[in-house]
Amino acid sequence: MLSHKIKILAYPYSRDFLSGRQPWRMLALHEKYGPAVRVSPNEVSFASAQSWHDIYAPRKGGEFLKSNWYENGSFGGHAIVSVRDPVEHAQMRKYLSRAFSEASLRDQEDMITDLIAKYIDGVGKTAKAEGVVNLTDWHNFLTFDIIGLLAFGKSFGGVESGRLGPTYSARLSLFSQAFVGSIAHANVMDTLKRFPWLGAVYLAFNQGWLKGIARVADRHMSYTKKVIEDRISEKTDRKDFMHYLLRDHPQDDDSESFHMQMSGHAADLVVAGSETTATTLSVVVHYLLEKPAIFKTVTEEIHGSFEKEEDINATTAAPLKYLHAVCLEALRIFPPLPIGPPRDAPPEGAVVDGVSIPGGTLVSTNPCAASMFSKNFHNPSEFIPERWLGENKDDILEATQPFSLGKRGCIGRNMAWLELHITLARLIFRYEIEREGQLDWIEATPMLLFWQKPNLMVRVKERIRK
């Protein structure tokens, strides 16, 4: 039995999920009912620092494993993000870790910086030609290009063309269309699983639509597999992810299952590593434009630290304390992964944040709710980088865990930090940035598994350095 401490709600969880406002509805429920809320018959949502620890950190006894929600995606759940079996995952994580080690990141830094330099130039050129630039697009170009280059051996050509030009549309359009399709598929399947009876009725009336979505997901898989086969047969000494995966993967063969697994990893890396980083970049710029005093402080920090833009690299940008605090605050106020990563309670049950949870119950910590809960942060809707600097007795900082934690925590967080630090430091070093029009970021950003980001229209002008 679920502990008496939590209320049972007749809550239209999946309807909210499809409406795009689910993270904010979850926050409202937590504000009303507390840090543990039972959101569907077999599911409890949490919003506390302790729950992050209890559910996701390594623990003695049975673990909380990824739920069957992860099987909704493509490649049948046998790639790094979606695999559920802990033994299979540990094996994958071990050989993937080498592609994400400090040494590998150093090998990859030049490739990443080269794309960031193209992004910086491209933003300026577009502003000159068109007056305004949509930074949301440019952050997508940049982060998809970086992961494209590292995971597939080919950038999508976004920062080079700066528009849906022939190379870009041929590669990214197909991929992103397929990507969105596969996410929509995952979303619908998730909703149907929660309400099997309703699901059966729904499916009976919507066969064509569902088949359409499944076809797009299939296209995603075939396209990914083709690109990976090209990469596997390419002779190159480029130190991209595939270099390490092909070197360290235990199965040294040319079989269909080997190709499928490499394709699955590459697809998972694109999904996990591009949208999330692009969201953070846009959220940082949005809030800097909202808060001129904060923008001024971070600009002074960057200008006080560098003489030339080329001096900004992973080693020199990482110590910029205020910039780092700005990024942490962006990750708190708008967590890039908007859903609570779902886990099954171990068969013998467990205690999460003081609540007894029976075996098999679906649990998660909701990132938005935990990051914005008034019991965790003072003025939670205010963008205050100072929370992350010096002593802080007002906030429970561990309540926000944008990269999650434990064995299934983000393997790419060092790479994400590298991208955030260099990109933002170089952008702010080179340009004065002004907003064009108005934007309420939270209102304008629905969530459909990933955030559907609004346009971030800005004017940029090269700074004249004294």
Binding positions for ligand HEM, rule: CB under 6 A: 80-81, 93, 147, 268-269, 272-273, 276-277, 280, 336-337, 341, 402-404, 408, 410-412, 415-416
Q: How far is the CB of 7 from ligand HEM (least distance, A)?
A: 26
Q: How far is the CB of 211 from ligand HEM (least distance, A)?
A: 27
Nearest to ligand HEM of 274, 376 (CB atom): 274
Nearest to ligand HEM of 34, 287 (CB atom): 287
40 with 11: CB under 8 angstroms? Answer: yes
Nearest to ligand HEM of 92, 133 (CB atom): 92
225 with 259: CB under 8 angstroms? Answer: yes
Residue 88 vs residues 9, 142, 155, 241, 255: alpha-carbon distances, Å: 36, 32, 30, 19, 19
Say if strands 447-448 and 450-451 run parallel, antiparallel, or are unpaired. Answer: antiparallel
Nearest to ligand HEM of 181, 341 (CB atom): 341
Q: Which residue is nearest to ligand HEM (CB)?
A: 412
Q: How far is the CB of 337 from ligand HEM (least distance, A)?
A: 4
Is 318 exposed, middle or buried, given 0-12, 13-18 or 19+ CB atoms closer than 10 A?
middle
Helix (H, G, I), strand (E, B) or coil at 134: strand
> Per the structure block, which two tokens stand in for 374?
């008034």
Q: Which residues are registered as beta bridge partners of 352?
A: 355
Q: How far is the CB of 118 from ligand HEM (least distance, A)?
A: 18
> Per the structure block, which two tokens stand in for 320?
């910029």
Nearest to ligand HEM of 25, 332 (CB atom): 332
Helix (H, G, I), strand (E, B) or coil at 362: strand
Nearest to ligand HEM of 127, 369 (CB atom): 369
Q: Is 410 annotated as a binding residue?
A: yes
Q: How far is the CB of 284 from ligand HEM (least distance, A)?
A: 10
Q: In degrees rounded to 5, what are phi and psi of residue 195?
A: -130, 75
> Per the structure block, which two tokens stand in for 361?
């119950």
Would you give the distance in Å from CA 411 to the centre of its chain?
A: 12
Nearest to ligand HEM of 368, 411 (CB atom): 411
Rounded Cα–Cα distance for residues 270 and 56 (Å): 23
Q: How far is the CB of 197 from ligand HEM (least distance, A)?
A: 28
Element spanning 75, H or E: none
Query: Residues with Cβ < 8 Å from 108, sequence gap 6 or more?
Result: 150, 239, 240, 415
Rounded Cα–Cα distance for residues 297 and 288 (Å): 10
Binding site residue list: 410
Detail the residues annotated as belonging to a binding site for heme. 410
